[in-house]
Chains A and B, each alone.
Chain A
Amino acid sequence: MEKFEPVIVAFCCHYCAYTAADMAGSQRLPYPANVKIIRIPCSGKVDALHIVKAFERGADGVYVAGCLEGDCHFKNGNNRAARRVKYVQKYLEEIGIESERLEMVYMSAGMGYRFAQVATEITEKIRKLGPSPIKSALAGQSDKVAC
């Protein structure tokens, strides 16, 4: 069996995680190419619908990366994002998707090392969980069509 390479969507706040990703690059810190970064103006901008749609389109894991506690550029967007992530985690369980596939993480713009570490850890976690049940079901359907 081919090695499973998960697709992970990372919603990264412009003021922290996105800059941290840049920092990781400048420092030549490697992180898995599985992580697809989407820049957002604040983690609080991420809507439940964005996360759910990512899973619907076949993402194996999603994480929202916001500023450290008390450091949000827009005051409390990161706290709102964390509450929203919790809400979607419950919804995912209802749908039948493991809630561990979704996570909220925090970092500052200077934490290039942490960005690379988080990306690696989450990729490994999702690799262990295996493909998302939705991705498997989508693949099964396209096989049927091909037959």
Chain B
Amino acid sequence: MITAERKPLEELIEYVKPYKRILLLGCNECVTVCAAGGRKEVGLLASGLQMALLKSGSSIDIRQHTLERQCDPEYVEELVPMIDGVEAIMSMACGCGVQQLAGRFKDTPVFPAVNTKFMGASERQGVWAERCQGCGDCMLGQTGGICPIARCAKQLMNGPCGGSAGGRCEIGDDVDCAWQLIWDRLKALGREESFVEITPAKDWRSGGGSGPRKIIREDLAE
């Protein structure tokens, strides 16, 4: 999922201060799962903004709504009847949702309420860790299902480096050395030959190196 964290309230207050009526918009997808921008977080932020502004002597009308997906035009279209009279939109979705809204409602300012972080997986309740950087040319098949792009601080194609000690990365004791994990896993699978095989330098064009990426499925595209 795409993970995110709410921005500091102080920053959000600055965004909404000039307006009298805003639409605070959550998303039912990734940001709901990582507890950053779902229906509940919309309620919490609306209350927080309301109280903080009340304290400073002003007030604001905050309309609340949560879309099934903010990154999909068909759901964004649902907002058309709600947008009337709204001076600004604050989105609690990832950057994709914010941009989708900004593209659809060109006359209404759209502000992000969260900082979009990374593509991650849940390690346990309340803990999410980076697992994928969308390099566009997945090499998990060669590395025992552990990604050296997302999980090695140096993104080494052939690791580990000299900073690996006791299975940990030199950047911090709480960071596993991805290449140690890869070795352990390949060994357990009896696939050590994958480890010794030299991987050539990665072609980063598929990973955003040649500009914004796009997928076009001819059979689906209209």
Which residue numbers of A lie inside 8 Å of B, CB to CB?
47-49, 52-53, 55-56, 91, 94-97, 133-134, 137-138, 140-141
Contacts and interface: CB of A to CB of B under 8 A. Distances in A.
Nearest to A137: B54
B138 interface: no
B217 interface: no
Contacts of B44: 48-49, 52, 91
B57 interface: yes
Contacts of B8: 94
Contacts of B9: 91, 94-95
Interface in B27-66: 40, 43-44, 47-48, 50-52, 54-55, 57, 59
A14 B148 CA distance: 50
Give the most central of B9, B44, B50, B54: most A CB within 10 Å. B54
Given A52-B48, A53-B47, A96 B55 contact: yes
A96 B50 CA distance: 12
Q: Chain B contact residues: over half helix, strand or loop, or mixed?
A: helix
Given A49-B47, A55-B51, A95-B52, 10 more contacts: A53-B43, A56-B50, A56-B51, A91-B44, A91-B48, A94-B8, A94-B52, A96-B51, A138-B54, A141-B59
A95 B44 CA distance: 11
Contacts of A48: 40, 44
B54 A97 contact: no
A138 B55 CA distance: 9
Contacts of B54: 134, 137-138, 141
A94 B51 contact: no
A96 B52 contact: yes
A92 to B, nearest CB: 9
Interface in B1-30: 8-10
B51 A97 contact: yes
Nearest to A135: B54
B57 A52 contact: no
Contacts of A140: 57
A52 B47 contact: yes
B62 to A, nearest CB: 11
